[in-house]
Structure formats: C-alpha cells, structure tokens
Amino acid sequence: MSAQSASHSYTSVDQKLARLSPIPFECNLFRVQDHTRRINVKAYEPEVIAIGPYHHGKPNLQAMEEHKLRYLLELLIQAQESSVERYYMAMRALKDRALKCYAEPISLTDDEFVEMMLLDGCFLLGYILKCNIPSLVRTGDPITFSQVRFGMVHDLLLYENQLPFFIIVQLFSLINVSYPQFSIMSLTQSFLAQTFGYLKIEPGVRAWMSIGDVNHLLGLAYCGLCLPFVQMVPHNVGDDGQGVQFINCTTELQEAGILLKEAKESISFLDVRFTNGVLEIPSFVIEDLTENFFRNLMTYEQYCPATSPYVTDYIIFMNRLINSSKDVELLRRCGIIIDWFGNDVAVHAMLTNLAKNAMRMGKFSYSEVCKNLHLHCRRRRNVWMANLRRNYLNNPWAIISFFAAVLLLILTFTQTVFSILPQV
C-alpha cells in the first residue's frame, strides 16, 4: 500500500470519528435489541399511541394525535390561558436535556421534537389528572372507552414508548395553580396503582420515592414494584446465582416434603421466602398484559445500570419452579398463581418464553432461598417423611390403617418376646 493510499484511509477514519456524537451518560432510553425483540415483537410495539420519538409518526398511531391536541386545549382551559406560548417555551428550554435521555438518533427537527414533548407531555398529564379527578372526564371521551383504554394500558408502560418524567413535572408546575392540593408524584403513583392494579404501590412505599429518582412512567412503576423488596428484604441479595441451577421443580419440591404456600402478608410479589420447610411465594397474577409488562420491566433493568435485576431474577426463579403445566396447576391450587387465562399449558408457555434470553447480571436475589431448598431436598429424611405423609397419612382412613398396622406390629413383637422369655 502506498503512503498516499494509507494517508487517505486513516484520514477517512479520522473524519468519521470527528462526526461521531458521544452517547451522553444521562441517557436511559434505548431501542430494544433485535434478538430480544424477535422473541415477542408485539411486547415492545405500541398499539394505540406513540409517546416519545421512537414511534412518533407511525401511520397506525396517527388517530391519537388529534386527541393529544384536545388534551392540550383542555389543560389550557383549566389554567384559564388562551395561548400555548408559555408551555412551548418551557419545553424548548428542556429540549437539550430531553435529547440526552435518548441513546438512539432522533429523526425529528428541533421544532418537531419540542412539539412532540409538548403534546405527549400534556396528554400524559391530562390522562393522569383524569384518572385521579373523575369530574375532569368529558362525556364521550374515547380514551375512557374500554377497548381504547386497554390499548393505552399496554402502550404507556412500553420501554421504547417513554417520555422523561421531568417534562411532566415541568408541565404540572405550569398549571399547578389549578390543583394546589396535589403533588405530581402522588397523582402519578395513584394513577399507576389504579390503572395497573397489581402494582400495589402502598402509601408507605411512596414515601421512599423522590422525583429526582424517576426516569419515566415505566421507571416509576418499577420502583413501586421493587422498592419494598429492596428496602425491607436486603438479605435476599446473595451470590452469583449458581444455586438456581439446582432448584427442583414444584412437583419435585412437593415430593421432597416442601409445603408450598401463598405469602398473604408479603410486601412485594418479589418477596419469596423459605423457612422451616415452607416455601412462601406471593400471588402472581397472570393475565393478557402480564408477559408484555414483565418483558419491558426486564428490558428496563438491562439498560439502566443503576438498577439490580430483581424482576429478571424473579422470572428465572419462577421458570425453574415450573417445568410443566402440572407445576402450574400445583401453584394455582396453592393460590400462588392467579390464572386469568384458565389454561395451565398457556401459563407454562408464557413463563418459558419470558425466561428466554433472560440475562443474569451480578448477584442473584434468591441465592439464599435456592441454597436452602437444595439442602432440604438432599436430606433423605425429608424425602422419607414426605413419602410417609403422601402414601400413608393422606386421609383419615389411611391414618387409621397405618396406626392399626403399627399397633399390630407392636403386639406381634410383644407376643414373640413373651413367648421366648419362659424358655430362657
């Protein structure tokens, strides 16, 4: 290669490096990688509404753009304002900060991006307010129709369909004069608890959350699910998770004498405990949106370095417990799985699918539980006692027959002894 040719080659690379824009450390919103998306494409794609730039402008989501304008108009009327100028300028001031939250290139111009922030932010704020203040709901508002609402529930917690939370905070501060009795955190947490009932964000848990810690709606939902577990059960975090490989399925655990029980007093669905031969697991609701919701929570864990993979660990643990529809049936009968599918085979398939490509990162949250379960199953005495209870003590007649046989054996032994004694 000639010197001139070599010079041209490295000059071309230098030019590419000069044009390369750095990924800001503030970014927390990425596009889902193809190998993850392919497992279940619909789990990451909005069906009704685009929030944020990644799905903005898609033809199948255009019907909601007019409703975003209507929600903006309603907020202006509530604040007794006739112009959007103050809100637009507030969004323009946040543009650079918002852009840094997105790791992928944005195809919108600056003005388009600011308009998107304004309309999407006002829609989310208006929707949150309506869910908390029923008097704000207009008669005939299509967003309140059951079918549209179901699609909204799906779309608002998609990882790629998020808007930085500070945008909603800023917009609420501009209209706060209309709602001085509320805080945006309490309104949003109440909205999540109402709309996604199984989040169970208790008032005591809400006190642990601060606005500065919230990235977006999905991030807030994640905090509501995981903070009780993190704050109250820190001892559950253990080693690198090798112990999970030795976990028996539910059927085998039951055969080893382990009692499976619903943890009714649990602080979080993540709070799995094993004590004195009893495995307590909080109820786990399986319904139409469960797989999509958990997929996006797991994606959030993968891309947000500040979080630990608590949800991913939970899915891995549950997947080890469930090897077949028989295991699902046992957990359902114990009240641990609440199945709205009405199909044990479908629940098994869903959990198996959820665990695909589940990435183990760092310490495993259930390592101590796994270790104790493994030790229990290795003790032969526990297996023998379980067989005794299952085969001979499983109903009153079996118990009577068992003790009658034991009594007969004792009497026979006693008679034999007394028959031998006179001969000695």
pLDDT along the chain (424 residues), means of 10: 57 64 66 92 94 96 94 92 95 96 94 98 95 85 73 91 96 85 88 71 54 88 84 57 70 88 87 92 90 94 83 93 95 93 92 85 83 79 48 50 59 64 58
**Same domain, yes or no: 212 and 261:** no
The pLDDT score that the predictor gives to residue 393 is 44
**Same domain, yes or no: 79 and 40:** yes
The pLDDT score that the predictor gives to residue 363 is 80
Tell me which residue of 337, 281, 340 sits closest to 314, measured CA to CA: 281
Q: What angle do CA 277, 280, 285 make, to 5 degrees?
A: 150
**Same domain, yes or no: 257 and 400:** no
Read off the pTM. 0.83
**Same domain, yes or no: 250 and 215:** no
The pLDDT score that the predictor gives to residue 390 is 47
**Same domain, yes or no: 274 and 328:** yes
Q: Does the residue 18 lie in any domain?
A: no
The pLDDT score that the predictor gives to residue 353 is 92
The pLDDT score that the predictor gives to residue 401 is 57
Domain that holds residue 411: 393-423
**Same domain, yes or no: 134 and 209:** yes
Task: Give CA–CA dist 19/11, Å, rounded.
Answer: 13
Tell me which residue of 163, 161, 166, 165 sits closest to 54, measured CA to CA: 161
**Same domain, yes or no: 335 and 416:** no
pLDDT tens digits, one per residue of 184-203: 988 998 888 887 665 555 54
